[in-house]
Amino acid sequence: MLETENLKLFEYQVLNGTITTYINIPYEGSIEELAHVLILNEKLPKYMAKDLIKSLSQFIEKHTIILEDEHITKLLLNGKESTDFEDVTKEWEKLIKEEMAEYGEQRCASDEELFATAYHKMVHSRALETMLQLEHMYAKIVRKRCEEKNRQINDMSEKQTLEMNKALEHLEEDMAEMKINQLVSQQFEDQSFLQIQLTSELDTIKEAQRREYREWLMQMLEENQANSSLPTPNSPLSPPPIPIPAMMPYTDNSINPILEESFTIHLGSQLKQMHNIRILSSNVMDLCAIIDSECSEPMPQTLQTALNLYSNDLHGLVLMADNIIGSRAIKEFKDICQSSTEFHFNNIEDQLDKIISLQNEFKRSKGTADQRKSTKHLQPGDFYMTKHSNLSQSHVIFHIIVDDSVKCNDINSRHPVVLGLRNILKVACSNDVTSLTIPLLLNYEMTEEMTISWCEKRAELVFKCIKGFMIEMASWGGSDLKNLQFMLPQGISSEVFQSLTEMLPRIFKVSNPLILT
């Protein structure tokens, strides 16, 4: 039965007067049908149906909104008097945890969490040496296959080059231009097929190593818990013997000596924090690559990476990149990542693909993505992160986007790349990255325009900005940045290096001990 208080008077002007009718709000019938009933009852022309339907729709919508507003206001007023908001909040929290997996309490740990726990426990025990030996043997196999892959690809490239040169020599004789194009196409297909084949074989080896390593580690943990003993290099739980491929003799190709200087500073307005600062000249890839040699023992860099992998003291590196995710600009870095098996995280290609996918999804959600254009492009100052367990001195890589503007002499503290460094420091201290390496000049190589004056001006800007960011970190919360490295291009002159090392203590105000006599 309709309630009279919900009936609203509808009036509609016609040529010979006004027609009226009462409509119950909210109206659940057909507006078109109601309009035709009015036309028949009031004997109106049929051409008025369109305008009448429009007037009815506007009238019903207006009074429906008014009715809903009155109803909601009434509920809110009653709720203020009788509702216990704390009980309501707890009930909503309970419902969300029960109905949504994202907020629900985890009933059991995932396989990744179990492996991480097992690895952290074993790596801080007497089993560390055995674990590193196994990883080292696996890495040698992968590096050998990588060398073989590169050799086969280079051999095919040389063969195809000779074949093309010979074809071009006979172009005017009996070799038509169409045949040249066919040859180019065939060579490209052969090159692509070989690349895919060798990459697939290498990925299969890595996946097998990853599976064997994880199974062996979990078995080792179970045996330890059962017998309260840990394996030694010669125990039955040691990894099975793996054939070690012959390696190329290691040769040190570095011509320029490594220059470095270390300082200890205290920053903070009230409660000062101690930080270790190091300035060094080196190739950025030296902080990623694990030096390979004829030695059958793992290198010391792997020990540091392993011990800090699942800890609150992670090591980060700022790596400059262009605006296309995964482009050839970071090819050398990707080659280093792929030269050994990643036992803990996704490989570098999968991580980059995931980042591209997330970026595309974000752009689509904001309605800014043009489906006809590439969505891989980022802006200077943007950055993305990848995580690794098979690098020498880094667990987290911050890939910051730079362009040619960083080569200019007039950039300031508001430059996008400088602001990007601030965001990187903020993310670092929020995620237990306590050691960070930053390119001081925002360049990896020395060029002609990078004079002593240019280097001093750029270093002063970065020093002052980073100092301000570090002081600001005290209000961000999270971990303190204990160790900070400023990296200079390899090959920088000793005069420039000395000038910059003298500048650092003046800006950061290094404390010197006071000697009383």
- What is the distance between the alpha carbons of residues 199 and 149, in angstroms, rounded to a whole number? 8
pLDDT given for residue 290 in this prediction:
79
- Report whether pLDDT(424) > 90: yes
pLDDT given for residue 175 in this prediction:
57
151-170 mean pLDDT: 86
The alpha-helical segments, DSSP class H, found in 391-485 are: 416-430, 452-472
Confirm or reject CATH 3.30.590.10 for domain 259-508, answering yes or no.
Answer: no
When pLDDT is cut at 50, 70 and 90, the band that residue 3 belongs to is very low
Distance, CA of 443 to chain centre: 22
Least confident of 63-67, 157-161, 295-299, 459-463: 295-299
The residue with greater pLDDT, 289 or 213, is: 213
pLDDT given for residue 2 in this prediction:
40
% of the chain exceeding 70 in pLDDT? 82
Tally the residues of the chain: 517
The residue with greater pLDDT, 255 or 148, is: 148
DSSP 242-265: -PPPP-PPP-----SPPEEEEEEE
pLDDT given for residue 254 in this prediction:
46
pLDDT given for residue 366 in this prediction:
67
**Residue pLDDT, tens place only, 392-401:** 889 999 999 9
pLDDT given for residue 82 in this prediction:
66
The rounded mean pLDDT for the chain is 82
When pLDDT is cut at 50, 70 and 90, the band that residue 236 belongs to is very low
Distances (CA, A) of 403 to 374, 381, 406, 408, 415: 18, 9, 6, 10, 11
The residue with greater pLDDT, 467 or 83, is: 467
Least confident of 146-150, 212-216, 226-230, 299-303: 226-230
Kindly report the pTM of this predicted structure: 0.70
> Taking a C-beta distance cutoff of 8 angstroms, is the pair 239, 298 a contact?
no
pLDDT given for residue 327 in this prediction:
81
pLDDT given for residue 250 in this prediction:
35
pLDDT given for residue 368 in this prediction:
55
What lies within 8 Å, CB to CB, of 281 at 6+ separation is 256, 258, 259, 260, 487, 488, 489, 490, 491, 492, 497
Distances (CA, A) of 177 to 180, 184, 191, 272, 389: 5, 11, 21, 74, 51
Give CB contacts under 8 A, 24+ apart, made by 111-120: 114/218, 115/214, 115/217, 115/218, 115/344, 116/310, 116/344, 118/217, 118/218, 118/221, 119/217, 119/309, 119/310, 119/344, 120/309, 120/310, 120/311
473-486 mean pLDDT: 82
